[in-house]
Structure 1
């Protein structure tokens, strides 16, 4: 049985400077809006559905869609088909699989949640771990009414700014992270945070710092903020780096004290000293 429900994906438009380009996927995930909590319920032994009971706080349109309900023999094939259909168009989709035994038969409802952000899922108040990347599986107790709440594990992270910088020589040697300015930022401008030097190297200036992110998890405000002081540096690359560094991801601490993250965001053929940096800064406690 296959059932479709209208859904709207959480959108992200990273504003670029100089040209339009796709942001680095790590930074794209970080910059996505927090997920509004989604409540699902199982009532009287029926299939799981979006909650309609009194007090449920589902938004009018949730970033969730029911892909279908299948038995054990079909499930993995259908999940693979969903992944294939999503492809590049929905790279960050998380699948929520809810297993139920109804009249002695195991049925699994598969929901697509359109976000790359880390999710927290609780069944009757008990949190469920994400065992596989982008796949969360829950088994409901037969004959028991249940409530499932999907929320944003990092809802406290509010984005201050997200941009893609185009840096290089001349007028593009300096960039201001708080405003996203990357053109004609003066050398003596105290708001500048990043500098590309004459040899193509990248450094921080004016009290800004950077630390390489080595975890396999997506960078977070808490994660970057917990890095030891010894991890932070003002010299990211002393000279024009090899292509391999384009996989690097960094934590940032701007001159104004905002944490963030950035990664290589692309390049322009024939411009070896051109840096394209997709980045996000999170709000400080006193930011509105």
Structure 2
């Protein structure tokens, strides 16, 4: 007959072993010999600027008139290139634009301009922010008078209630902005499973990304792109072929993908593969690729996701 203390120690050891096995079964692991670049050590990307994104070809847009009522901008013409951000304010003498919670309003990628209209005499405390989704040059007029010409980034103007603001297309971006110089690589790895901490993830989070791109539903096991991010599955990238992938798409290949090929999620047939390789376009306009390895033995299905993004 075993000593009670020994029996207790054995029981605890078995419990710890069982718990360890259970935790191990809840996740997937990085596939070996997939030829993937290693993720850089934490902190390497600290202090880098917010990614600019990239400017693709965009056709001219129609003139857009906005009316400022003292609280917000009202678009005279509904347009996909105008998106309200909300009420903001200017911070101190620096002119930094702050959100309502006091945090700085993040900069936008290169193909987005922020239009900030503040009420005259309010010391920058009442401002309305709008996103203008075009990488083209913009001419800004207020009450029929020229204000300024901008190419990207941020416009701040002061107006009285009843003022009208007109945005006019003023040509393509400068040639120097079409040149695609060296990109910063952002490598992320995710283990999605029923008890994993990640739900919405930013594929550029180590390089100053500001929007989540990929979502995992812990109940259904569904993977989907969010906030306008898209992916493009192709046989040429071996997503449906057996074996271990050794060749991944480059930035130029993903840039060449036709617009109608980009989708928000893969269908069930595509997810039946041992591994899936897709091009990805993030919500901030950067390109990259994903390696998705499903684990169908777990319910809901778990995924190892490797993400490589060219951040500009």
Tell me which interval the TM-score lies in, with the shorter structure as reference length.
Answer: 0.3 to 0.5
Q: TM-score, normalised by structure 2?
A: 0.36
Q: If you compute each CA radius of gyration, which structure gives the higher value, 1 or 2?
A: 2
